[in-house]
C-alpha cells in the first residue's frame, strides 16, 4: 500500500500518471453515484465530474507542505492529493478506516501528510482558514503557500471579500482559486451574479488575477505556477479563476433538469480527460492499447477499494468525542 505522500509524489513530472489519476477520480465518482443511488451509502454527496484537470493542476503545482482548504466537492481533490480510493470511500461510507476516521463523511476529506486541511460544507469557510495559514507561514518566514479552492457562488459571500482584502493589505502568500463551474446549487451564475468573469473582482483589492481554462491541466498548472511563484517570492496573493463545468447535478439526487438544452453537451466536448488524452496521444506517450489497459486497471482498483471499505468496521460511539478538543498534557 502506498502512502498518501507517495501517491502524491508519483504525479511529479509524470503526465501519464496525471491522466491515470483523472481516470481514477472519474471512475470513483461514477461508483460513488451508483452506491448512493442504490441506497448503500447514507447522507449526501457532491460529485466533481468535469473538474479533474483542476484537481490534478493543484496537486502538481503545490508542495505537500503547502496547505489547501477546499469544499464539500472534494473527492477528486483528495484523490489528486494522494489519498487512496479506499481511504476516501471508507470515509464516505462512515468507516473507521476513512481519512477522518469515518466521522466526517463525503464532505470532510483531510490528510495533514499532504497538506489537505479538512474540507468544509460552509460556503466560503475555507478562505479565512487559508489566509490564516498563509499568515502563519509569513510570520514563521516559511516559503509555503496557503490555497483556498471554492466555487463561483462563494465569491458573493462576505468571507471572500474580507479574505481578499486582508491578504492584499498584508501581502500574504495565499492563492484564491475559484472553480467557476457555472452553477451554485440549482442557480445558474447569471441569475445570482452581475459579472461573468469573477477574477475581475480582484481589482477591488489591487490583487493580480488570472483567468484560466479549467478543463486544460497544462493551463491550470501554468497559472497556478505563476501564482505560487509570486507568493513564495513574498509578492502576495493572486486570484485565479478556472472556467470549468459541473457535469453532474449539485448533489446526490439532483438531475440538473434546470440546465439549458445543449449546455452539458457543449462542455463535454471539452472534457478534461478527453483533452489530456488527446494531448498525450499527440506527444506519442499514450495510445489506445495503453488507454484500455489503464481503464481496466482503474476499474479494478476502485472496485477493490469499495469491497474493502464495505467490509471495514464502523467507528465506535465514543469516537464522536475524540479529536474535538486538543488533548492537553497534564
Ligand atoms: C454559509 C453557507 N451558505 C449557504 C450554504 C448552502 N449551499 C450549499 S452549496 C451552495 C452553492 C455553492 O455553489 P458554489 O460556491 O458555486 O460551489 P459548487 O457547489 O458549484 O462547487 C450553497 C449556497 C452553505 N452550505 N453554507
Ligand atoms: Mg459553482
Query: Vertex 149, ends 144 and 151: CA angle to 5°?
Result: 165
What whole-number distance in Å separates Cα of residue 305 and Cα of residue 77? 17
CA neighbor of 211 nearest in space, from 246, 242, 238, 189: 242
CB of 54 closer than 6 angstroms to any ligand 1 atom: no
Residue 201, all three cell numbers: 473582482
For residue 216, the model assigns a pLDDT of 98
Query: Vertex 53, ends 55 and 151: CA angle to 5°?
Result: 60
For residue 11, the model assigns a pLDDT of 98
Query: Taking the mean position of all CA atoms in its chain, how far away is CA 279?
Result: 22
Pocket test for ligand 1, best of 45, 153, 155 (most atoms within 8 A of CB): 153
For residue 139, the model assigns a pLDDT of 98
Chain position carrying cell 463523511: 105
For residue 326, the model assigns a pLDDT of 76
How many angstroms is it from 163 CA to the middle of ligand 1?
Answer: 17
For residue 322, the model assigns a pLDDT of 84
Q: CB 121: neighbour CB atoms within 10 A?
A: 14
Classify domain 4-311 at the CATH class level: alpha beta
Backbone angles phi, psi at 180, to 5 degrees: -85, 90
pTM, full prediction:
0.97
Residues (pLDDT < 70) of the chain are 327-330
> What does the domain layout of the chain look like in residue ranges?
4-311
Report every protein residue that has its C-beta within 5 angstroms of ion ligand 2. 151-152, 181, 184
**DSSP type of residue 313:** P
Convert the pLDDT of each residue in 237-264 to its tens digit.
Answer: 999 999 999 999 999 889 999 999 999 9
Radius of gyration of the chain (CA): 19
Residue 243, all three cell numbers: 472556467
Chain position carrying cell 479565512: 128
For residue 127, the model assigns a pLDDT of 98
What whole-number distance in Å separates Cα of residue 76 and Cα of residue 102? 18
How many angstroms is it from 154 CA to the middle of ligand 1?
Answer: 7
> Burial, 257: exposed, middle or buried (Cβ in 10 Å; 0-12, 13-18, 19+)?
exposed
CA neighbor of 190 nearest in space, from 263, 297, 293: 263
CB of 153 closer than 6 angstroms to any ligand 1 atom: yes
Chain position carrying cell 477522518: 100
CB of 187 closer than 6 angstroms to any ligand 1 atom: no
Amino acid at each position: 500500500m502506498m502512502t498518501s505522500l507517495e501517491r502524491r509524489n508519483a504525479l511529479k513530472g509524470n503526465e501519464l500518471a496525471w491522466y491515470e489519476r483523472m481516470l481514477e477520480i472519474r471512475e470513483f465518482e461514477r461508483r460513488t453515484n451508483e452506491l448512493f443511488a442504490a441506497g448503500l451509502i447514507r447522507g449526501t454527496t457532491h460529485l466533481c465530474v468535469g473538474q479533474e484537470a483542476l484537481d490534478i493542476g493543484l496537486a502538481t503545482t503545490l508542495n505537500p507542505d503547502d496547505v489547501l482548504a477546499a469544499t464539500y466537492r472534494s473527492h477528486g481533490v483528495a484523490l489528486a492529493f494522494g489519498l487512496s480510493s479506499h481511504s476516501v470511500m471508507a470515509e464516505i461510507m462512515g468507516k473507521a478506516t476513512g481519512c477522518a476516521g469515518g466521522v466526517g463523511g463525503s464532505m470532510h476529506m483531510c490528510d495533514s501528510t499532504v497538506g489537505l486541511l479538512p474540507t468544509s460544507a460552509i460556503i466560503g469557510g475555507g478562505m479565512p482558514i487559508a489566509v490564516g495559514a498563509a499568515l502563519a507561514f509569513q510570520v514563521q518566514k516559511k516559503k509555503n503557500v496557503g490555497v483556498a479552492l471554492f466555487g463561483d457562488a462563494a465569491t458573493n459571500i462576505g468571507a471572500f471579500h474580507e479574505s481578499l482584502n486582508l491578504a492584499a493589505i498584508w501581502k500574504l502568500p495565499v492563492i484564491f482559486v475559484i472553480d467557476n463551474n457555472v452553477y451554485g446549487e440549482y442557480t445558474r451564475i447569471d441569475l445570482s451574479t452581475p459579472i461573468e468573469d469573477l477574477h475581475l473582482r480582484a481589482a477591488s483589492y489591487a490583487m493580480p488575477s488570472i483567468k484560466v481554462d479549467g478543463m486544460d491541466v497544462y493551463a491550470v498548472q501554468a497559472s497556478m505556477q505563476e501564482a505560487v511563484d509570486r507568493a513564495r517570492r513574498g509578492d502576495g496573493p493572486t486570484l485565479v479563476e478556472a472556467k470549468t463545468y459541473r457535469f453532474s447535478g449539485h448533489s446526490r439526487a439532483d438531475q440538473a433538469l434546470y440546465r439549458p438544452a445543449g449546455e452539458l453537451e457543449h462542455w463535454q466536448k471539452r472534457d478534461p480527460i478527453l483533452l489530456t488524452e488527446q494531448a498525450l496521444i499527440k506527444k506519442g506517450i499514450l495510445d489506445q492499447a495503453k488507454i484500455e489497459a489503464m481503464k481496466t486497471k482503474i476499474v479494478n482498483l476502485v472496485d477493490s477499494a469499495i469491497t474493502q471499505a464495505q467490509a471495514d468496521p464502523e467507528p465506535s460511539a465514543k469516537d464522536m468525542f475524540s479529536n474535538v478538543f486538543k488533548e492537553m498534557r497534564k
